[in-house]
């Protein structure tokens, strides 16, 4: 079957869903395609694993229950400048398409699922991960970036009986953050009983993890490998390979237009922008592109994108955390930490998407 549409949005994560909802406000019709039938607030998935009862199924909602435009569930497998080919053999012809296919976490797929395509399957996937954790006595988290640190804090807080080891190949936790942020995070993690190991490079050998540097062995019930984010752009390779970088990010200009094309735009994690790969960047990009597409339609000037200043807000357990924000630097202010900790921003994100 060949479907036709004017504006196709490929991917309904923070960037794509925001764009669709913003365009709807200006009465611009869109068709959004996603391989899942639900939108998920990823900020909540780690606590969903560590404390399922606290979060339950609240971070997820079916597209059909909130999206103002048209929705199709399907996977784009090939893209040209006029047509998207889907896994089921259908194709969608468009006048303009926005690629917002984000990124995946192949080594830690329960954090951002690449196998649960229905709301029911995803809810069950997280419930199972949480039940498996409840039975564990020891866990190893490999990678002490924001995701690893948050997961370690959440597990240690909710399961004080579980021995939590957080290992990183670098010299500290949160390697890309300031020294003060690293120190505050380490202190809070240690207060929760997390065993932090730096300069470790654990690899799995049958039932144990062996550190390549020291040869030390660690046997744990569960290991979470929180490293290696991958851009979701494989569908570009057949016809549009020249528009992606070596790492798979899509080359764009400062209007989000795919460099050298007339019909394609890219926003969010998949776009080769200077912004951090965060929902906090993907949401404003969706809004900015919507404003630009509306402006173009009205014959007005578009605004160039400016990268978001670097920042981070990382809960460590359910009561503490650390933030690194412009001007103020490293802070642990309760109201700011609680803003995220109280519901992991589910209410904030849903409100932005017009979900009541
Ligand atoms: C555990 C975890 C915690 C995080 N915590 C935070 C946080 O606290 N704050 C923060 O700002 N960021 C956080 N992030 C990062 C944040 O999730 C990403 O930056 C954000 O998801 C990027 O949004 P996006 O819209 O670009 O892409 P995504 O959210 O990845 O959405 C892309 C969508 O495209 C769909 N898709 C992909 N390929 C195809 C295809 N071929 N065909 C059809 N559909 C496709 C996917 O199913 C998905 O729905 C976290 C990430 C993880 C994994």
Ligand 1 proximity of 36 Cβ (cutoff 6 Å):
yes
Task: Classify 179 in phi/psi space as left (phi over 0), alpha (psi -120 to 50) or beta.
Answer: alpha
Domains identified in the chain and CATH numbers: 2-107+229-297 (3.50.50.60)
Nearest in space to 25 (alpha carbons), one of 352, 244, 356 = 352
Ligand 1 proximity of 276 Cβ (cutoff 6 Å):
no
Residue 5 is inside which H or E element, if any? strand 2-10
Give the residue-averaged pLDDT of 146-171. 97
* 74 Cα nearest atom in ligand 1: 43
* 278 Cα nearest atom in ligand 1: 19
Nearest in space to 153 (alpha carbons), one of 222, 51, 55 = 51
Q: State the pLDDT at residue 228.
A: 87
Q: How far does residue 182's CA lie from ligand 1's centre (Å)?
A: 25
Q: How far does residue 217's CA lie from ligand 1's centre (Å)?
A: 34
Q: State the pLDDT at residue 207.
A: 86
Q: State the pLDDT at residue 356.
A: 85
Ligand 1 proximity of 39 Cβ (cutoff 6 Å):
no
Of 269, 276, 308, 341, the residue with max ligand 1 atoms within 8 A of its CB, to mutate for a pocket test, comes to 269
Q: State the pLDDT at residue 124.
A: 97
- Indicate whether this model's pTM tops 0.95: yes
Nearest CA to ligand 1 atom 15: 278
pLDDT-derived band at 213, boundaries 50, 70, 90: confident
Q: For the chain, what is the mean pLDDT?
A: 96
Position 222 pLDDT exceeds 90: yes
Q: How far does residue 141's CA lie from ligand 1's centre (Å)?
A: 21
Residue pair 128/291 in contact by the 8 Å Cβ criterion: no
pLDDT digit string (tens) for 228-253?
Answer: 889 999 999 999 999 999 999 999 99
Give the residue-averaged pLDDT of 15-21. 98
d(CA 61, CA 80): 31
Q: State the pLDDT at residue 279.
A: 97
* 17 Cα nearest atom in ligand 1: 25
Q: How far does residue 183's CA lie from ligand 1's centre (Å)?
A: 28
What does the DSSP assignment read for 32-75?
A: EEESSSEEE-GGGHHHHHH-HHHHTTTTEEEGGGT-SSEEEE--
Supply 197's token pair: 């190991």
Phi and psi angles of residue 78, each rounded to the nearest 5 degrees, phi first: -145, 150
Phi and psi angles of residue 159, each rounded to the nearest 5 degrees, phi first: -135, 70
């Amino acid at each position: 079957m060949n479907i036709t549409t004017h504006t196709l949005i490929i991917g309904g994560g923070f960037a794509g869903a925001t764009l669709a909802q913003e365009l709807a406000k200006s009465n611009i019709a869109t068709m959004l395609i996603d391989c899942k039938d639900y939108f998920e607030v990823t900020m909540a998935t780690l606590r969903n694993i560590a404390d399922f009862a606290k979060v339950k199924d609240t971070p997820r909602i079916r597209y059909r229950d909130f999206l103002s435009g048209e929705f199709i569930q399907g996977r784009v497998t090939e893209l040209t400048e006029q047509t998207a080919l889907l896994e089921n053999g259908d194709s969608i012809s468009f006048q303009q398409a926005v690629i917002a296919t984000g990124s995946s976490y192949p080594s830690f797929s329960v954090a951002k699922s690449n196998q649960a395509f229905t709301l029911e399957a995803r809810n069950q996937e997280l419930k199972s991960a949480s039940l498996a954790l409840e039975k564990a006595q020891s866990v190893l988290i490999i990678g002490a970036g924001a995701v690893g640190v948050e997961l370690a804090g959440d597990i240690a807080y909710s399961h004080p009986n579980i021995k939590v080891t957080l290992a990183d190949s670098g010299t500290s936790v949160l390697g890309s953050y300031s020294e003060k942020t690293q120190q505050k995070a380490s202190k809070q993690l240690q207060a929760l009983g997390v065993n932090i190991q730096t300069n470790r490079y654990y690899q799995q050998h049958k039932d144990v993890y062996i550190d390549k540097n020291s040869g030390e062995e660690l046997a744990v019930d569960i290991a979470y490998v929180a490293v290696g984010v991958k851009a979701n752009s494989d569908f570009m390779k057949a016809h549009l390979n020249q528009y992606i970088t070596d790492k798979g990010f899509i080359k764009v200009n400062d209007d989000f237009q795919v460099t050298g094309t007339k019909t394609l735009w890219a926003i969010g994690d998949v776009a080769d922008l200077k912004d951090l790969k965060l929902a906090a960047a993907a949401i404003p990009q969706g809004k900015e592109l919507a404003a630009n597409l509306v402006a173009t339609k009205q014959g007005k000037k578009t605004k160039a994108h400016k990268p978001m200043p670097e920042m981070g807000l990382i809960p460590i357990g359910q009561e503490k955390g650390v933030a690194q924000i412009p001007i103020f630097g490293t802070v642990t202010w309760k109201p700011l930490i609680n803003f995220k900790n109280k519901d992991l921003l589910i209410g904030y994100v849903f409100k932005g998407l017009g979900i009541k």
